[in-house]
Chain A
Amino acid sequence: GQQLNQSPQSMFIQEGEDVSMNCTSSSIFNTWLWYKQDPGEGPVLLIALYKAGELTSNGRLTAQFGITRKDSFLNISASIPSDVGIYFCAGQRVERGSSNTGKLIFGQGTTLQVKP
């Protein structure tokens, strides 16, 4: 089953507000990824993080790879109506001595609604 705990489960905000969501795990990950999923579509990659402490931006989105390698957060600044959707964190873990399968473990998602 799922190993990532994502919070909050849902958010309803006013257009223009900033948003923050996070993801925690009991296990260490080598890579953290953030995806957005629109209804009836597959997830689309927003940001990828590779090093503990790394802070990466993509337009109004900023994400950080936690120092402990067990957490990550995503911030969205100045939200707009098209930010509506479900945001997923995903972690990739490579076991020592094993090849990288590329398998991702996803959180349960944060549903974001933006009121114009």
Chain B
Amino acid sequence: DTGVSQNPRHKITKRGQNVTFRCDPISEHNRLYWYRQTLGQGPEFLTYFQNEAQLEKSRLLSDRFSAERPKGSFSTLEIQRTEQGDSAMYLCASSLGAGEDGYTFGSGTRLTVV
């Protein structure tokens, strides 16, 4: 297992376009998390899944954002009608259980909205 994989690594898009990111967690991990990190800040929680169920969403996750985890495996994060303020690093992480031992992060997808 090569860890948590995120694609693409970088995405440049024009304002108003839709984008979708993919995360492949560590295979035996039942929990998957999405975080957003802006320059000079720590990651901020967006949402998490336990298996295929989305159990919590941050108020940072506006109605333009949607996340799915079909069949409890990989997950996608879609942003519709992107805005310049959406420019950030989007990090995915996975854990077995509640991640008290700290979960494993992917390398992230860097989104730039121009």
Interface residues of A, Cβ cutoff 8 Å to B: 1-2, 4, 6, 31, 33, 35, 40-45, 48, 50, 88, 90, 92, 99-109
Contacts and interface: CB of A to CB of B under 8 A. Distances in A.
Contacts of B40: 108-109
Given A33-B102, A40-B110, A42-B91, A101 B41 contact: no
Interface of B: 4, 31, 33, 40-45, 48, 55-56, 91, 93, 95, 97-108, 110
List the 3 closest pairs (A to B, CB-CB), nearest first: A106-B42, A42-B105, A100-B98
A42 to B, nearest CB: 3
Given A42-B108, A106-B42, 7 more contacts: A2-B42, A33-B102, A42-B91, A92-B98, A99-B98, A101-B48, A106-B43
A104 B46 CA distance: 11
Contacts, number: 74
Contact of A101 (B42, B56, B105): B56
B4 to A, nearest CB: 8
Contact of A102 (B33, B41, B107, B108): B33
A17 to B, nearest CB: 24
Nearest to B4: A42
A30 B91 CA distance: 23
